[in-house]
């Protein structure tokens, strides 16, 4: 691999030049120019800790917050009037699928318009590769928001096993995967992700996951997992995730926690109890949850036993999600006319059964679906746990309303309209809670000394507008967003600035 060497050389060169420059800088340029400052005046500050809102002025100098309190701006210092608005740390989306989207759309309007200033990429076991190349590319061509990346388990599994992945890996293959995880961590990844419900990752044993997670743990990373089953065997899958954390001694983040089938509806309390017990004995488990009663994935995910052409299995799968009317086709390259219609509607118009239709669609290739198979009472129970954070599982161009609506939806619907949680608590779930999982010390809380990732929003109007048929419609009420002290979103549009950074461990 030529890249790591090249990277090492680059970093060595960069730090050497810094060493040389720093002591002489004053000689070359005189005393450093004072960095421009600004004050945001009159906002209600939600500082990310969950503490009550308080009215305060906030001074920004360069990319930092330098003062918070009841002080007056200096003469001539620019001010931003923020009366009636809430100022919070920028939102951190720990599960975001924009790694490809950012290359085409670095302004990331659908993300920054929600108040997101940092996205964690490489979720569900799929990551860019090599990590070092991805990191370097994003350093060279930054986006409007910050990013960090996980090593994907399926990505390294595929590298080692090729197309022969439908089996348990041999010890030497696991050893080879461990080397790749190590390479990814050395090149800047912040942890390991898995998607054990999916094709490539799903054939891994628990032992394989423990071995790989141990490597990530050695580098101070965490393990983020789309667990093996989000349906009838959800609790079993949760136990496995906890066991991996316990055996590998690594913090665990359960991705998009949900009760996804008729058989487990209303049983969130059991999942919560399992996690509470694990936390009680010292396993560092947290979870994230998106605010929608429907998931989006590939159509094959519906059939847990992977017998996609077996009518009985398919029939059972459709019944488990409450029927074919709950399955909306969102992307079907072979049959564009199926898109944004339910399996039930399409079957009716074709005069075949939904089961026959399903089998035919899979035979013709993959398809994307949105499946309405969760209950509000479960979502609410999860959101009320202090260890559950808000994450979108969305990203640029994803065909699900969570891609453009997640954070404003929590603020507008769960906080303002339904009173599920308080505003400061919701903000904590979007800021300092994910940061705690990421172990970053300079973001996620609004306080002097922290990086100036900020969002200014109107608590009376903030609301999502994306829907299942129009998943890309932008939200309202997010007035201004700053990344590293630079305004990236203002009055309903991207400013064009791209001050985002690649963040590490």
Q: What is the nearest approach in angstroms of Zn ion to the Cβ of residue 295?
A: 8
Q: Which is nearer to Zn ion, 237 or 487 (CB)?
A: 237
Q: Can you name the residues that pair with 331 across neighbouring β-strands?
A: 368
Query: Is residue 64 near Zn ion by the rule CB under 5 A?
Result: no
Beta-sheet pairing, 388-390 with 285-289: parallel
Q: Which is nearer to Zn ion, 226 or 437 (CB)?
A: 226
Q: Which is nearer to Zn ion, 68 or 321 (CB)?
A: 321
Using CB under 5 A, which of 38, 158, 226, 402 touches Zn ion? 226
Half-sphere exposure of 88 (CA within 13 A, CB side): 33
Q: Which is nearer to Zn ion, 124 or 253 (CB)?
A: 124
Query: Is residue 229 near Zn ion by the rule CB under 5 A?
Result: no
Query: Is residue 63 near Zn ion by the rule CB under 5 A?
Result: no
Q: Which is nearer to Zn ion, 195 or 485 (CB)?
A: 195
Residue that has been written with the tokens 């917050």 in this structure:
65
Contact 172, 142 (CB under 8 A): no
Query: Is residue 230 near Zn ion by the rule CB under 5 A?
Result: no
Q: How far apart are CA 337 and CA 206, in angstroms?
A: 41
Q: How far apart are CA 443 and CA 156, in angstroms?
A: 30
Query: Is residue 124 near Zn ion by the rule CB under 5 A?
Result: yes
Q: What is the nearest approach in angstroms of Zn ion to the Cβ of residue 257?
A: 11
Alpha-helical runs (H) found in 66-205: 101-104, 109-112, 131-140, 153-161, 171-186
- Collapsing DSSP to helix, strand or coil, 27 comes out as helix
Interface mask toward Zn ion for 167-206; x: CB under 5 A: ----------------------------------------
- Give the residue from 94, 82, 144 showing the smallest Cα distance to 457: 82
Q: Which is nearer to Zn ion, 124 or 229 (CB)?
A: 124
Query: Is residue 402 near Zn ion by the rule CB under 5 A?
Result: no
Beta-sheet pairing, 285-289 with 252-254: parallel
Of 81-89, 124-132, 181-189, 305-313, the window that binds Zn ion (rule: CB under 5 A) is 124-132
Q: Which is nearer to Zn ion, 224 or 410 (CB)?
A: 224
Q: What is the nearest approach in angstroms of Zn ion to the Cβ of residue 310?
A: 25
* DSSP string covering 30-60: SSPPPPPEEEEEEEEE--SSSPPPEEEEEEE
Query: Is residue 157 near Zn ion by the rule CB under 5 A?
Result: no
Q: How many residues does the chain have?
A: 505
Contact 420, 414 (CB under 8 A): yes
Q: What is the nearest approach in angstroms of Zn ion to the Cβ of residue 97?
A: 9
| Orientation of helix 206-218 relative to helix 153-161, angle to 10° | 110
- Collapsing DSSP to helix, strand or coil, 389 comes out as strand
Query: Is residue 453 near Zn ion by the rule CB under 5 A?
Result: no
Q: How far apart are CA 467 and CA 428, in angstroms?
A: 26
Q: Which is nearer to Zn ion, 85 or 404 (CB)?
A: 404
Of 226-234, 286-294, 366-374, 497-505, the window that binds Zn ion (rule: CB under 5 A) is 226-234
Q: Which is nearer to Zn ion, 257 or 452 (CB)?
A: 257
Contact 286, 250 (CB under 8 A): no
Query: Is residue 93 near Zn ion by the rule CB under 5 A?
Result: no
Of 120-128, 266-274, 426-434, 444-452, the window that binds Zn ion (rule: CB under 5 A) is 120-128
Structure tokens at 66: 């330098």
Q: Cβ of 35: how many Cβ atoms within 10 Å?
A: 12
Query: Is residue 437 near Zn ion by the rule CB under 5 A?
Result: no
Which residue number is nearest to Zn ion in terms of Cβ? 226
Q: Which is nearer to Zn ion, 124 or 187 (CB)?
A: 124
Query: Is residue 378 near Zn ion by the rule CB under 5 A?
Result: no
Query: Is residue 97 near Zn ion by the rule CB under 5 A?
Result: no
Q: How far apart are CA 295 and CA 149, in angstroms?
A: 23
Query: Is residue 240 near Zn ion by the rule CB under 5 A?
Result: no
Please work out the total of residues on this chain that contact Zn ion, with binding judged by CB under 5 A.
Answer: 2
Q: What is the nearest approach in angstroms of Zn ion to the Cβ of residue 313?
A: 22
Q: Can you name the residues that pair with 456 across neighbouring β-strands?
A: 87, 480
Applying CB under 5 A, which residues contact Zn ion? 124, 226
């Amino acid at each position: 691999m030529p890249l790591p060497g090249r990277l090492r050389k680059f970093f060595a060169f960069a730090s050497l030049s810094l060493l040389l420059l720093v002591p002489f800088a004053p000689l070359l340029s005189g005393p450093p120019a004072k960095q421009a400052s600004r004050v945001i005046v009159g906002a209600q500050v939600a500082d990310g800790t969950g503490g009550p809102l308080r009215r305060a002025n906030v001074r920004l100098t360069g990319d930092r917050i330098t003062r918070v309190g009841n002080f007056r701006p200096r003469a001539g210092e620019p001010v931003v009037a923020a009366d009636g608005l809430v100022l919070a740390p920028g939102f951190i989306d720990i599960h975001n699928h924009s790694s490809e989207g950012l290359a085409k759309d670095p302004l990331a309007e659908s993300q920054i318009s929600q108040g997101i200033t940092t996205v964690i990429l490489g979720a569900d076991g799929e990551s860019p590769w090599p990590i070092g190349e991805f990191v370097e590319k994003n350093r060279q061509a930054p986006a409007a928001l910050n990013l960090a990346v996980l090593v994907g388990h399926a990505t390294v599994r595929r590298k080692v096993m090729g197309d022969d992945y439908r089996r348990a890996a041999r010890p030497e293959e696991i050893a080879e995967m461990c080397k790749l995880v190590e390479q990814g961590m050395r090149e800047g990844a912040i942890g390991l992700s898995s998607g054990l419900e999916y094709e490539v990752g799903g054939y891994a044993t628990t032992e394989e996951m423990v071995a790989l997670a141990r490597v990530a743990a050695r580098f101070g990373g965490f393990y983020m997992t789309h667990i093996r089953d989000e349906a009838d065997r959800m609790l079993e899958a949760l136990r496995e995730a906890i066991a991996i954390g316990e055996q590998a001694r690594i913090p665990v983040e359960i991705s998009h926690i949900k009760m996804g089938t008729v058989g487990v509806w209303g049983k969130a309390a059991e999942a919560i109890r399992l996690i509470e017990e694990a936390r009680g004995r010292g396993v560092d488990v947290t979870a994230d949850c998106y605010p929608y009663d429907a998931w989006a994935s590939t159509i094959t995910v519906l059939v847990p036993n992977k017998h996609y052409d077996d009518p009985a299995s398919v029939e059972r799968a459709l019944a488990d999600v409450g029927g074919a009317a709950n399955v909306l086709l969102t992307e079907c390259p072979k049959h564009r006319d199926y898109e944004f219609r339910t399996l039930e509607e399409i079957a009716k118009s074709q005069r075949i059964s939904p089961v026959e239709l399903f089998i035919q669609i899979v035979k013709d290739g993959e398809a994307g679906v949105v499946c309405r198979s969760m209950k509000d009472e479960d979502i609410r129970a999860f959101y009320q746990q202090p260890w559950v954070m808000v994450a979108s599982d969305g990203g640029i161009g994803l065909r699900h309303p969570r891609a453009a609506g997640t954070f404003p939806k929590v603020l507008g619907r769960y906080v303002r309209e339904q009173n599920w949680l308080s505003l400061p608590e919701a903000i904590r779930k979007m800021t300092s809670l994910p940061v705690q999982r990421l172990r970053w010390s300079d973001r996620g809380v609004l306080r002097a000394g922290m990086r100036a990732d900020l969002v200014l929003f109107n608590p009376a109007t903030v609301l999502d507008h994306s829907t299942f048929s129009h998943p890309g419609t932008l939200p309202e009420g997010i007035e201004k967003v700053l990344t590293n002290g630079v305004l990236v979103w203002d009055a309903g549009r991207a400013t064009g600035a791209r001050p985002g950074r690649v963040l590490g461990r």
